[in-house]
């Protein structure tokens, strides 16, 4: 009898020991398993460092065969067309602004309406772009072009912007003026402009988010404006001096009137007012390069306008008090010819408007 009790106790002890050991192994195994799947942000499950976006990003190469109206490709700067102005509307999350005032920044224009299901699906990506690249030079502008009367009500737009957590600027396009100016055909449409305000990329519909981000990063990395190579284009102090009789022989009647007699051509009549080709503008009298098309913008004044010269030394500024007003005259530094005037109502990044006479310039197209 005692033998049977001892045997039973032995079995109980062995069973209890096995249970304890098994539980201990199970806990250890679970802890090890949790550790194996808890990785740091910069390593993958094989413990290899991951490349960050900055390290792995390779700028896109523009498609030189794409025309200015191409979609879903990065259009070459030489083929790109200037972006139309934004029509007047009510602004949310920003003071009213213009495409010209956004010069120097990459601009993503999103055509949307809050009643559009596909438009709402794009918002998380646009908000991510805004958070990631706003401080690096990106501005997103949501152009709200409504489809129904309900979507036209400003209070409903305000509610939708707040409800969807949109923090970037939004402007109303109630009558569809901006929509038509950009030749938009459907919601949503994303148009991305470079720092000179040229349309470099267009996509219709949802998706292509990775491509859009690559375009943004590529355009942010592009240089803003051509600056002079002083060895070839910058003014080095040389002067060209001729008699007025000599100038009269070399220049046309119109050129002489503007360049030597400080005249002004009539607005909207000049050859280069509406010129959108890419190249350089030189002095018509002596050939010194003065302005680049990269700095040209639509001022609406009727004269070709630039926000900065190729090199500051290439132009000379003098006070002009003719006609009972005080203005700043702009002259060619090499030959002293009159070019036009400069005003302080231009776009960013300089805030200047070099208002030039077409007849005083000679355009050299880039090949």
Are 331 and 318 in contact by the 8 Å Cβ rule? The answer is yes
How far apart CA 246 and CA 254 sit, in angstroms, is: 15
Beta strands 106-112 and 138-144 are parallel
Among the listed residues 119, 283, 332, 355, the single catalytic one is 355
Note if the pTM is more than 0.75.
no
**In percent, how much of the chain has pLDDT > 70?**
81
pLDDT at residue 183, rounded to an integer: 96
pLDDT at residue 3, rounded to an integer: 56
Mean pLDDT of the chain: 84
Judged against a pLDDT cut of 90, whether residue 39 lies above it is answered with no
Contacts 24+ apart (CB under 8 A), 124-129: 125/209, 125/212, 126/168, 127/165, 127/166, 127/167, 127/168, 129/212, 129/213, 129/216
- Catalytic site includes residue 355: yes
Judged against a pLDDT cut of 50, whether residue 52 lies above it is answered with no
CATH of domain 54-221: 3.40.30.10
What is the pLDDT averaged over residues 302-310? Answer: 95
What is the pLDDT averaged over residues 144-152? Answer: 96
pLDDT at residue 171, rounded to an integer: 97
Within 8 A by CB and 6+ apart from 62, the residues are: 74, 75, 76, 77, 200
Query: Residue 179 — pLDDT band, cuts 50, 70, 90?
Result: very high
Give Cα separations from 156 to 31, 95, 135, 253 (angstroms).
52, 19, 29, 60
CATH of domain 244-365: 2.170.150.20
What is the pLDDT averaged over residues 256-277? Answer: 95
């Amino acid at each position: 009898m005692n033998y049977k009790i001892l045997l039973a106790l032995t079995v109980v002890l062995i069973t209890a020991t096995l249970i304890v050991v098994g539980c201990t192994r199970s806990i250890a195994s679970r802890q090890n398993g949790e550790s194996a799947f808890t990785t740091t942000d910069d390593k993958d499950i094989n413990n290899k460092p991951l490349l960050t976006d900055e390290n792995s990003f390779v700028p896109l190469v523009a498609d030189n065969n794409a025309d200015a109206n191409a979609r879903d490709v990065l259009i070459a700067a030489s083929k790109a067309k200037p972006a139309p102005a934004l029509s007047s509307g009510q602004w949310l999350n920003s003071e009213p602004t213009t495409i010209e005032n956004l010069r120097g920044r990459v601009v993503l224009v999103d055509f949307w309406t809050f009643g559009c299901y596909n438009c709402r699906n794009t918002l998380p990506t646009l908000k991510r772009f805004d958070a990631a690249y706003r401080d690096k030079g990106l501005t997103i502008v949501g152009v709200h072009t409504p489809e129904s009367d309900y979507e036209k009500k400003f209070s409903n737009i305000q509610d939708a912007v707040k409800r969807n957590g949109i923090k970037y600027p939004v402007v109303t396009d109630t009558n569809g003026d901006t929509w038509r100016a950009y030749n938009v055909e459907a919601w949503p449409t994303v148009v991305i402009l470079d720092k000179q305000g040229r349309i470099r990329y267009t996509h219709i519909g949802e998706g292509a988010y990775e491509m859009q981000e690559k375009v943004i990063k590529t355009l942010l990395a592009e240089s803003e404006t051509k600056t002079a190579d002083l060895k070839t284009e910058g003014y080095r102090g040389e002067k060209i001096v001729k008699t007025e009789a000599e100038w009269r022989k070399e220049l046309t009647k119109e050129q002489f009137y503007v360049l030597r007699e400080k005249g002004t051509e009539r607005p909207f009549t000049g050859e280069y007012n509406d010129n959108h080709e890419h190249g350089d503008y030189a002095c018509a009298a002596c050939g010194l390069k003065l302005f680049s098309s990269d700095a040209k913008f639509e001022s609406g004044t009727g004269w070709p306008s630039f926000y900065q010269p190729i090199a500051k030394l290439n132009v000379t500024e003098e006070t002009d008090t003719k006609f009972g007003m005080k203005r700043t005259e702009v002259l060619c530094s090499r030959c002293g010819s009159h070019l036009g005037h400069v005003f302080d109502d231009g776009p960013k990044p300089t805030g200047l408007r070099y208002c030039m006479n077409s007849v005083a310039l000679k355009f050299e197209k880039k090949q």
